[in-house]
Amino acid sequence: MPRYFIEVSYKGTRYSGFQIQQNANSIQAEVTQALKVFFKRDFELTGASRTDAGVHALQNYFHFDNDFTKELDSLKVSFKDLDLEGALYNLNALLPKDIVIKKIFPVKDNVHCRFDAINREYKYFIYQEKDPFLQDRAYYYPYKLDINKLNEAAAQIMKYEDFISFSKRNTQVKSFVCKIEKSEWYIKDNMIIYTIIANRFLRGMVKGFVGTMLRVGTNKISINEFSKIIENRDSSKVDFSSPSHGLFLNAVNYNPQLFH
């Protein structure tokens, strides 16, 4: 059966997370419902990257298997204009204002949006001067920070692969190994931004990194103590308190050859 990718972007403030859950609203639940209403059939969506409650995404993906031939004929829509008008427009009209479907496109039948992703990129945004227009999209942290120490801590992360310390408890994953490709802090437009790229992420991992590195940047712990937290595999020493609204899934990347 033909397989399709859905590219989505969303503001996660009102949602319990990306993946569908019982007794809580999610990005997956809203997209599934919009597809069902418009195409008048059930959909089973698989997600590329599970963002936690309150986390935003500039880019994330679902895939599903379905034969659209009859529906597209009746709607007088083809995949040439599916990402411009017709179905895409109507699906977005059905979705809440804080979720948008950017594109729907066919892929090879065996392409998996989660397992075939090369890496994911997250960004965490911090601002230090009060700004009402950033309060739900960045972390207001009005304390003196040493950007050099932040980057020293970020560089330490690159030296490791086992991040069980930075995983929230009660997770269902079997492996805590993540291959980090990039970890750095920089300043842009009066924002302090942390960027991290890895093949996979654990539950709460980026927020744990940020919260604990902020302790380094404010001289509450040393670089050596930060490294020991990773090595000792003890999540009780990790600061997971950085709020979700500062975190964005910036991109999910694939080998372009998968789509041709």
Indicate if 52 belongs to the active site: yes
Residue 218 CA neighbour count, 13 Å, CB half:
11
CA distances from 239 to 51, 123, 135 (A): 19, 18, 21
Amino acid at 240: F
Catalytic residue among 42, 52, 65, 83: 52
* Separation between Cα atoms, residue 150 and residue 212, nearest integer Å: 10
* Nearest Cα to Cα of residue 207 among 240, 159, 236: 240
* Separation between Cα atoms, residue 213 and residue 23, nearest integer Å: 34
Could you tell me whether strands 56-65 and 247-253 are parallel, antiparallel, or unpaired per DSSP bridges?
A: parallel
User: Is the dihedral angle over the CA atoms 8, 117, 257, 124 positive or is it negative?
Assistant: positive
Could you tell me the two tokens for 208? 């744990």
Amino acid at 260: H
Q: What is the DSSP code (8-state) at residue 221?
A: S
Give the residue numbers marked as catalytic: 52
